[in-house]
Structure 1
Amino acid sequence: MFDDHLRGIIPDINDQQLEQLREQDFANWFKEYVEKNEVEERIYQIAQGPGRTVQSYKGMPRRISSSRGRGRGRQDTMSQPMQSLRDEQNEDQSIGHEPLQLPVDTQVSPTPLQLGGQVAASSSSSVRTRGPNLGQPTPVNPTNRQMIRLRGLVFLDISVSRSITNDIKMHFTAPWKTWAEIPNKMKDELFGKFQGRYMWDETEEQNVRLAWDKLGKDRFRDILNRARNEMLVKHKKSDIAYLHNLGPNWMKAEVWNELVAYWSSPEWRKKSQSAKINRMTVKDGSITKHACGSIKIEIHEDRLTKKLGRPPNKIEVFRATHTKKGADGVFIDGKSQRVDEDYASAIVEKYGSNSESPPIFDMDKWIEVSGGFNKGRVYGFGSSAKSQTSGSSTSQSCTSAYPGSSSQPAMTQEEIQQLIDEKASRMRAEMMAEILDQVRKELKTTGGTQFATSSHPTTSDSTNP
Structure 2
Amino acid sequence: MSFEPESKVRGVITKIFKENFGGAWSCWSSVDDDTMCAWLEDFKAKYKWLEKDEANIKKSFNSRGSLALKNALFKVHNGEDMGDWIGEENLEQLKAQWQAETWQKISMINKKNRQSQVGHNVHSGGSITAREHVKKMRVELNREPTNFEVYERLHRPKGKPDEWFNEKQAKIAEMYQTLMFEKQSHNGEGSSQLSDNSIYMEVVGGINKKGRIFGLGSQAATIKAFIKLSSTDCDVSSEKVVAMEAKIEALRLNLNKRILNKKLLKKRWHMSDFQSRFFVNDVDKL
Q: Please state which band the TM-score falls in when normalised by the shorter chain.
A: 0.3 to 0.5
- Which structure has more RCO (C-alpha within 8 Å, separation ≥ 6)? 2
TM-score (norm 2): 0.42
Larger CA Rg, structure 1 vs 2 = 1
TM-score (norm 1): 0.28
Larger helix proportion of the pair: 2
